[in-house]
Structure 1
Amino acid sequence: MFEKGELVIMGSERAVYRVEDGVVVNGKIKISKEGNDAFKPITADPNALKVLVCLDSVDWSENNSLKKSQNLICKLKDASEKTIWTQGVVFQNVSLSKEDSAKNLIKVMLPKLAQLKSLPLSSLFFPKGESLLGFEGGASETSGMGVVLHTRAGFMANKNNPGKRKQNQDRGVIIRGGGGDPDIDIFGVLDGHGDDGHFVSEYVKKSLGTFFTKNIDSASIRKSPEGALAKAVDYVVKKLKAIHKKTEKSLPKFDVNTSGTTLCLTLRIGRSLLTINIGDSRAVLFKTPKQKHRNDSKSNSGIEAVAMSRDHKPSDPDERKRIITAGGRCAQLGPNQPMRVLPRHANFPGLAVSRSVGDFWGEPFGLKALPEYKHHTLKTGDLFMVWASDGIWEWLSNQQVANIVYQNIHDLEKASKLLVDQARLMWDKNTKGTYHDDITAVIVKF
């Protein structure tokens, strides 16, 4: 059983709650005083534990004690040698003296990867029956589909701390069984930006999970897919505005005025796909062409890429016109700088995308959560779909992504890793190793 004041991760949405007297604060899930009903400790050989990536961490201070939880994606083997991918969280307590509490709070470092691997497994918990990535033992086939998510934190050169990675502001979205219907899924990506972009993308991801699993039924989704997605966006924006206006003390505190996130989602209802996009994350469908051209090179997989979304950037003439009409301005602030949305008479704040969830400073200038919709009915020859942040698309074309994934289509785990690794290599090549963005891809094989 968790102790009072301990931080826990609840469910596949990775929401963080604090335990008080056996009840999860700000949550509806109760923890039994006789035992922990929501979590179980991992029972496996410690040598089988492999921590793949740290997604984020949470700090909380009480009575001069700093409590930290580190959210991880883990790979391990159970007693039957079956590989399990899951979400894990490590709990830590760090004692601080009264005089050093404030100044040392931000100096306490999370354990290194080697230290995490040596932690007793009793320190690592994961939700019963839950899997963050939506599959076990690689890309499993569920309802005829394989699903995989791969993410990598970005990097920015820092002479004072060489090799330090930046905070990962990307989030992948995998929601199976929307509205309680096993034939309804939601897939997509979020790419946060601004100082608190990681908080925004995380909160939006959590809110989407709540909306599609608790706030809407399958009949409503099937009756009006566009209406369901519009309500989901409206639900998320209203929750962020409540944070912005500080209407409730129980709401989390982070900046949504100059921080925000992109949103690229696809709602699958059987063979029907409806994609919405806000920002410059992208969804692309890949299929076999009806007739392969004779002049296709061997390096070309022959797979046709069909864009399911349009990038929303101020460099786009239609988007630029919309922003200017609303009262904003689009300009480059330097010779090698991207075009940004700016206030009419100032150079700050600014944003290199023309639509966003959050970033409420820009609403009067047309910078808002305005989704674009695209319908598609799956047909014979439709192979797979990729949702990715601009960490992928900045240096890789749709066709390059097609080639990488198609050549490894029977091993989605490998395909996703190769895709993210290739994107990172292209960033290193083009920035001479000084910077690469967060890189995230969700792949679904139909």
Structure 2
Amino acid sequence: MQGKRKTQEDAHCVSMNFGDYDHHLMMVCDGHGGSLAAKRVREIMEAHLKKKKFDVDGTKKEQHGSYASNLFNAFLEVDKKLSEEEPFKEGKDFSGTTVNLAMVCEKIIVCANAGDTRCVVSKDQKAIDLSQDHKPTHPEERTRIVKAGGHVTNGRVNGLHGVARSLGDFGYKEGCIGDPNKQLVTCRPDVMVYPSSISEDEFVLICCDGVWDVLSSQEAITFIHECLVVKKVPDLQTCLDMLLDHCLEKGSNDNMTAAIIALPGFCRVHNYFKKPSTGICNVS
């Protein structure tokens, strides 16, 4: 949803049975300063991850690192690739984008996040955050920013930039694109591996901060459940349409993007999709 902004700077993708593996990719990129970084990161990241080799047995803890390391490295590698493209390399484009992506597998959900786009799992109608919003005021972020020679004023990096981590934004990474620990605004993601329960986990939701500006994680999860159960909304796409309309009514001033994957057990119990398989919907 473009909302009250003059332009739409978000991008997203949801890809089922991603690549050669039995897992599913969902990603939301919240662009700022223009739409190019979000668009290109979505395209580069999806192509980049298709080339990665994942350990498909997500049932053993010692093998979870295959997903975590691949996703962590992908953020650094994609940011470097983006910096080498002409509009960014030549200083013709200064846009950036947050990135939150999740690999949804049979036994685990792996979330990698840089920025304030948030991933939430619904478990027994309760919200479980799989990512932390990277705001400049967070102590860890502030410490890195100060060490890199910057400051946090009015909740912003150098008084200007509202997120502490993102891809692109190369004006904040001059001379240290290859070292995320020295960047004022870093591309380094946090990665969380969540053991998923097919009997209790219901769906995975990723939304950009335009949603979280006006709703808590639990409020968003409750809203979707009420749409499905109380209001008898027949599909998830309509639920997300209603969710974004609700956020607009509550005063969100930003672009808003939401993506959702319903898990098989949830679909079978409620028969929302008339078939015993993973349901998917995305709205942008």
TM range (shorter): 0.7 to 0.9
CA contact (8 A) 2:72 2:188 kept: no
Give the aligned partner of residue 188 of structure 1.
27
Shift of 1:440: 0.7
What runs of 5+ residues in structure 2 fail to find an aligned partner?
Answer: 174-181, 229-233, 264-284
Q: How does 1:133-212 map to 2 (within 5 A)?
A: 152-156=1-5, 166-181=6-21, 183-194=22-33, 196=34, 198-212=35-49
Max Rg structure: 1
The amino acid that maps onto 2:188 is L
Q: Is the 8 A contact 2:102 2:112 kept in 1?
A: yes
Indicate if the aligned counterparts of 1:172 and 1:190 stay in contact, CA closer than 8 A: yes
- TM-score, normalised by the number of residues in structure 1: 0.51
Residues 40-439 of structure 1 correspond to what in structure 2 (within 5 A)? 152-156=1-5, 166-181=6-21, 183-194=22-33, 196=34, 198-213=35-50, 215-219=51-55, 224-243=66-85, 244-246=88-90, 255=93, 258-288=94-124, 303-332=125-154, 339-342=155-158, 350-363=160-173, 365-379=183-197, 380-409=199-228, 411-427=235-251, 436-439=253-256
Q: Against the structure 1 CA distance between its residues 425 and 366, is the aligned structure 2 distance closer, same or farther, given a 3 Å change threshold?
A: same
Give the corresponding residue for 2:176.
Answer: none
CA contact (8 A) 1:179 1:218 kept: no
Assess if the C-alpha contact under 8 Å between 1:324 and 1:365 holds in 2: no
Q: Which amino acid aligns with 1:340?
A: R
1:444 equivalent among 256, 261, 264: 261
Question: How far apart are residue 180 of structure 1 and its match?
Answer: 1.5
Greater alpha carbon shift after TM alignment, 399-408 vs 387-396: 399-408
- CA deviation vs aligned residue, 1:15-36 (integer Å, no higher than 9, x gap): xxxxxxxxxxxxxxxxxxxxxx
The match for 1:112 is none
State the structure with bigger RCO (CA 8 A, min sep 6), 1 or 2: 2
Partner of 2:277: none
Uncovered stretches (5+) of structure 1, i.e. residues with no partner: 1-151, 157-165, 247-252, 289-302, 333-338, 429-435
Q: Is the 8 A contact 2:72 2:190 kept in 1?
A: no
Deviation at 1:406, TM superposition (A): 0.8
Deviations 1:300-337 (A, max 9, x none): xxx211110000001222221221122210001xxxxx
Tell me the CA shift for residue 219 of structure 1.
Answer: 4.9
Which of structure 1's runs of 4+ aligned residues deviate more than 6 A?
A: none
**Superposition map of 1:4-15 within 5 A:** none
CA shift in 2, pair 1:411/1:254, >3 Å: farther
Q: Secondary structure at the match of 2:163?
A: coil
Task: Identify, as 1 or 2, the structure richer in helix.
Answer: 2
Rounded Cα–Cα distance in structure 1 between residues aligned with 2:245 and 2:57: 36
- TM-superposed deviation, 1:175: 2.2
CA deviation string 1:360-379 (max 9, x = no partner): 12125531101001111111
Secondary structure of the structure 1 residue equivalent to 2:251: helix
Fraction of identical pairs, as percent? 29
CA shift for structure 1 position 227: 2.1
Cα separation, partners in 2 of 1:205 and 1:444, compared to 1, 3 Å: same
Change in CA separation of 1:352 and 1:177 when aligned onto 2, cut-off 3 Å:
same
Match for 1:368: what amino acid?
A: T
Provide TM-score, normalisation by structure 2: 0.79
Instruction: Identify the range of structure 1 (350-359 vs 237-246) with the bigger mean alpha-carbon deviation.
Output: 237-246
Q: State the match for 1:121 in structure 2.
A: none
